[in-house]
Amino acid sequence: MSKTSRRSFLGLMAGTAGAGWLSGCRSLNLAKDASTYSVALLGDTHFDSTDTKKYHAEYLTDTSMARYELHLKEHVRNADMWADRMPRLLKASGACVRSDTAFALQMGDLVQGDCANPIIHKQMLADMISLAKSIYGELPFATVVGNHDIRGTGALAAYDEMMPRVMAAELKRPVPGTTFAFRQGPDAYIVVDFNAPRPDVALLKRLLAESADARYVFVVSHGPAIPNGNGRWFLLGGPKYDAARREVRSLMAARNAIVLAGHTHCLEYYDCSFPEGRITQFVANSVWSSEDAAKLVVRDEGAAMYGQRAKAIKKRYGREVPQKERDGLVRLVDEYRPFVKDYLFANAAGHYRLEVSDARVVAQFFSGDATSPSRTFVLRQT
């Protein structure tokens, strides 16, 4: 780690003052040309130790046996990933940084959580931030809060106390909470806490309104904004958020937003045309759970395939999905189906590079620890 990066990391816990909304925040402007730049992009990383007891020793006494056994499978998966594959993936991502790379961006579930102790949870977060800084050096490292990032006794309070300060130090601007925004040249990045009941709809609407002058508006959320119908959590998911979800969807479409998300542990691409405008969504996955998981295997492709999973789903998390719940998933995707113009759902794990210019926005997928792109996704093109 460079001296500058180390000083930045040692100052992560320093406080920052002020609200500093989008209209007043300065651009990162780290790329030579602030309007033509790239971003190192990561999906979920579920940072953990190769020793399942390092962060989780107290977890058994903090939860039920059934929940412990369910989550232990994830701890074992993570230990296997972080023994070799995830360090290789991160190293490859660092190797793909270019002279025009402005910052690194991670899609949430930065860590596994399940620490049962807020002090250990903070240490887990700090260990991953330190690792990221050793990979990306001088580049700012930004992340959005995922459900695992606040999972465990005291984890939510620990994240709220620590991570806005971390992001303020990295982005060199005030970050008042887990929903915030920053600028890169002419573009707005709106980072949204999707965890129920925490979505701050009023703040999100305000940040979208303040992005009216942006060339591109990127909405960064751990949970996708356009649901795929498999029942996993998504931004403003659940019947009680229906009115807010539709309002925010309309506002994002009016800004022709590009949504960057994670959470599903799959690679997904959506291009949607609503009456108010366009939403393009790219869902990144970096959970390299086995060596073969890096291979790109397309399961569904084309607008006609959108929502078919909602009709087929019968079990989730080892339990039968009630018919009422299945019917609800079908109704949800039926609401979106007329607006979906292109769609892809694939099994694939790796790292990514976002390339942004006046002419287009491209997401490059690098399979596993590859340093040459495996597939290119054109998110916008003039």
Q: Are 296 and 375 in contact (CB under 8 A)?
A: yes
Prediction pTM value = 0.91
What per-residue confidence (pLDDT) applies to 328? Answer: 86
Give the pLDDT score at 43: 98
- pLDDT beyond 50 at 24: no
Mean pLDDT of all residues in 314-340: 86
Contact 146, 222 (CB under 8 A): yes
The HSE-up count of residue 163 (CA atoms within 13 Å, CB side) is 33
SS3 category, 122:
helix
What's the mean pLDDT in 270-278?
A: 98
Please give the pLDDT value at position 317: 64
Is residue 214 predicted with pLDDT exceeding 70? Answer: yes
User: Helices 85-95 and 65-83: crossing angle, nearest 10°?
Assistant: 50
Flag whether pLDDT at 29 surpasses 50. no
The string of pLDDT tens digits covering residues 36-88 is: 999 999 999 999 999 999 999 988 777 788 878 888 999 999 999 999 999 99
Q: Exposed (0-12), middle (13-18) or buried (19+): which is 4, by Cβ within 10 Å?
A: exposed
* Closest by Cα among 189, 236, 185 to 210: 189
Handedness of CA 18, 256, 276, 340 (dihedral sign): negative
Q: Tell me, what's the pLDDT at 63?
A: 75
- The whole-number average pLDDT for the span 328-357 is 96
Residue 130 has pLDDT above 90, yes or no: yes
Per-residue pLDDT, averaged over 326-337, amounts to: 91
Interval 125-153 mean pLDDT: 97
State the pLDDT at residue 32: 53
Q: What is the reported pLDDT for 311?
A: 78
pLDDT at 6 over 60: no
CB 181 within 8 A of CB 206: no
pLDDT reported for residue 66: 81
pLDDT-based confidence at residue 26 (cuts at 50, 70, 90): very low
Q: How confident is the model at residue 10 (pLDDT cuts 50, 70, 90)?
A: very low
Please report which confidence band the pLDDT of residue 351 belongs to, taking 50, 70 and 90 as the band edges.
very high
What is the structure's pLDDT at 338? Answer: 97
**Picking from 80-94, 137-151, 223-237, 335-349, which range would have the lowest pLDDT averaged per residue?**
223-237
% pLDDT > 70, the chain: 91
Grade residue 17 by pLDDT with cuts at 50, 70 and 90: very low
Superfamily of domain 3-8+21-381: Metallo-dependent phosphatases (3.60.21.10)
- pLDDT above 60: residue 11: no
Average pLDDT over residues 225-245: 90
* Among 157, 165, 176, residue whose Cα is nearest residue 11: 165
Is the pLDDT at 148 greater than 60? The verdict is yes
